Each structure stands twice: as C-alpha cells, then as structure tokens.
C-alpha cells in the first residue's frame, strides 16, 4: 500500500529530530540576533516566550475539571503526527499531556481530520483542540482561544556560502528573494523590502529549489516550515537562517492558542494557568528544544 507524503513525514519525524538534536549539541548555538521587539536572542537555539511574568494568570478552581478530551490531527509534524504505534504524537500532544498533569486531570487525545476539528468541538466530541490553529477573526467565530503558546515567525534563508549574514531592507537592495506567491510573506516583502527583486513561486518546493539552484539570493517564508526543512534531509545542508525573526502581527498573525467551546471559561482559564506554569517551570523550554533543535526563532 502506498504511503502518503504527509504520512511518510510523520513516520520519519522522530528520526529527523533526534539527528537534529545531535547536530545542535555538537555544533552549539550561533551568534545572537535581535528580534523585532528589541529582545536579544541566540540565532538557532531560541526558545520563544509568550508569557509575561508580571501577569501571572489566576489559578481557577481545578477541582471542577476531571477529564480533558483533547482533539488534534496527524498531518503537521513536528506538532502533530502519527507515532510508531499509530497514536498521536508531537509537540502539541506532549504539551497537552503536560497540561493535564498540571491540572491533575485525566487526559485523552483523539486525532481527527484537521478541517473537522472545530465542528467536532462544537458537537461536544471533545473539550479542547490543540492542533496549531491560529486565533483569527474567522476561527474566533467558532471557538474561544487560550493565550498564544507559540507564533509562526517569518524568516529569511540563504545558502550557507552566501555573504549575506543579516537581512534588512537597506542591505538587500537588488537581491533576488524567492517567496510563495499570494502569501502574507509576499505582501510583507512588497511593503517592507521595496528595493529587492521578488521572485514569486507557486509553492514551497519551487521557491526552495530556486534558492538551492542559485536562481535566488534569499528565500522568505514561514519559519516553522523552513526550520523543519532545514533540519531534514531535503535541504541537504544547503542553507541556513539569516536575520529575523519577523513577527509583524498584521501579516503573520497573533499566534496559536488552544481552542475551547465558546463560553467554556473555566477550561480556558485552567489551560492558560497551566501553560504559564509550563513556561515558569522550564517544561516548555525542554519541550521546545526537543522538537526544534533548529529553532524558527
């Protein structure tokens, strides 16, 4: 029986991230970079933090929560994929289990097709969806969301032998930048990098090939997908992140939260409290480094 590409990626992902961790351990962290908010971050082994220690969420009455039925999908590694035993695995799945442990609730995790998740939540087939769903005007019409537990930054990628080490509008005038046509990343380049030469491509594979084949000087796109590509075998070690991350919410969204049924404030508040605790205790950091030896931040 033929194995779909997404399914194959899910099967191979555990091996990919183990190899990536070994590489990160031996190579070490890269120099520091400045994010858009002025925070200085290491270029590769960056762990994002979306919680303000001065704004600690109040602990709700957790005794009222006995079981949390999480819903997820299997087609977005390393966040969600089928493990060797066929059960849900990935960053989101491990995080969900940590949250249940913190709340001291029984945890179940069921996989469904991505496009059915919010409908299943509405039909009371689950209590929460943790499947990398961005909190947007459209999704908030169907669910309430916790505070973001990650955002997907935009990043530039260059070939490892490129003389380009930082990416600012004034530093890449006339440079050819590959980007997927019709995306927020293309719109961002058109507004912010007006003197660069944009090369729109129909899909990610074509844009990445343009960079590998030296038809483009840079590639600009979703940092999560690019980190997965750089850490895998498809890139063949050709390329590396340069500059950024870029987190302009007008283009790249407000972040990814956990969806709960509208009005379920107790569960939403409990998850917010438990997410903060994972960050405060360092559990979130350990989990992030496990899955992202090459960080998208």
Binning pLDDT at 50, 70 and 90, where does residue 5 land? very low
Q: Residue 45 has what pLDDT?
A: 54
Is residue 172 pLDDT above 60, yes or no? yes
Percent of the chain surpassing pLDDT 90: 70
Per residue in 173-191, pLDDT (tens digit) is 999 999 999 999 999 999 9
Per residue in 39-75, pLDDT (tens digit) is 333 444 567 677 888 888 999 999 999 999 999 999 9
Per residue in 100-127, pLDDT (tens digit) is 999 999 999 999 999 999 999 999 999 9
Query: For 262-289, what is the mean pLDDT?
Result: 95
Is residue 275 pLDDT above 50, yes or no? yes
Domain boundaries, the chain: 5-151+254-291, 154-252
Percent of the chain surpassing pLDDT 70: 84
**Which of 65, 82, 69 has its CA nearest to residue 123?**
69
Q: Residue 10 has what pLDDT?
A: 46
Q: What's the CATH code, domain 154-252?
A: 3.40.190.10
Query: For 155-181, what is the mean pLDDT?
Result: 96
Is residue 143 pLDDT above 90, yes or no? yes
d(CA 145, CA 150): 13
Name the least confident of 10-24, 105-119, 131-145.
10-24
Query: For 154-181, what is the mean pLDDT?
Result: 96
Distances (CA, A) of 66 to 50, 69, 108: 27, 10, 11
Query: For 255-276, what is the mean pLDDT?
Result: 97
113-140 as b/e: b if 16+ CB within 10 A? ebeebbebbeeeebbbbbbbbbbeeebe
Q: What's the CATH code, domain 5-151+254-291?
A: 3.40.190.10
Please enumerate in sequence order all residues whose Cβ is within 8 A of that of 148, keeping only pairs 6 or more positions apart, or say none.
50, 135, 254, 255, 256, 257
Binning pLDDT at 50, 70 and 90, where does residue 11 land? very low
Q: Do domains 5-151+254-291 and 154-252 have the same CATH topology?
A: yes
Instruction: Return mean pLDDT, the chain.
Output: 86
| Inter-residue contact 120 to 126 (CB < 8 Å) | yes
Binning pLDDT at 50, 70 and 90, where does residue 202 land? very high
């Amino acid at each position: 029986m033929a194995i779909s590409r997404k399914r194959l990626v899910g099967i191979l992902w555990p091996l990919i991230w183990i190899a990536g961790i070994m590489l990160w351990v031996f190579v070490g962290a890269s120099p520091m970079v400045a994010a858009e908010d002025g925070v200085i971050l290491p270029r590769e082994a960056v762990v994002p933090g979306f919680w303000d220690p001065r704004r600690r969420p109040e602990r709700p009455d957790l005794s009222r929560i006995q079981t949390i039925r999480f819903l997820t999908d299997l087609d977005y590694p390393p966040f969600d994929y089928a493990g060797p035993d066929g059960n849900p695995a990935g960053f989101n799945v491990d995080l969900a289990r940590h949250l249940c442990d913190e709340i001291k609730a029984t945890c179940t995790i069921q996989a469904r097709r991505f496009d059915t998740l919010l409908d299943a939540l509405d039909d009371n087939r689950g209590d929460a969806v943790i499947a990398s769903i961005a909190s947007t005007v459209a999704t908030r019409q169907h669910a309430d969301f916790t505070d973001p537990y990650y955002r997907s930054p935009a990043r530039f990628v260059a070939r490892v032998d490129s003389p380009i080490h930082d990416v600012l509008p004034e530093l890449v005038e006339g440079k050819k930048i590959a980007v997927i046509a019709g995306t927020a990343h293309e719109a961002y380049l058109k507004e912010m990098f007006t003197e660069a030469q944009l090369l729109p491509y129909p899909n990610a594979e074509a844009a990445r090939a343009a960079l590998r084949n030296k038809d483009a000087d840079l590639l600009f796109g979703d940092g999560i997908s690019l980190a997965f590509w750089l850490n895998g075998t498809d890139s063949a070690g050709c390329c590396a992140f340069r500059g950024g991350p870029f987190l302009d919410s007008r283009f790249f969204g407000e972040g990814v939260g956990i969806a709960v049924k509208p009005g379920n404030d107790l569960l939403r508040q409990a998850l917010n409290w438990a997410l903060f605790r994972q960050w405060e205790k360092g559990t979130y950091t350990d989990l992030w480094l496990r899955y992202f030896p090459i960080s998208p931040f």
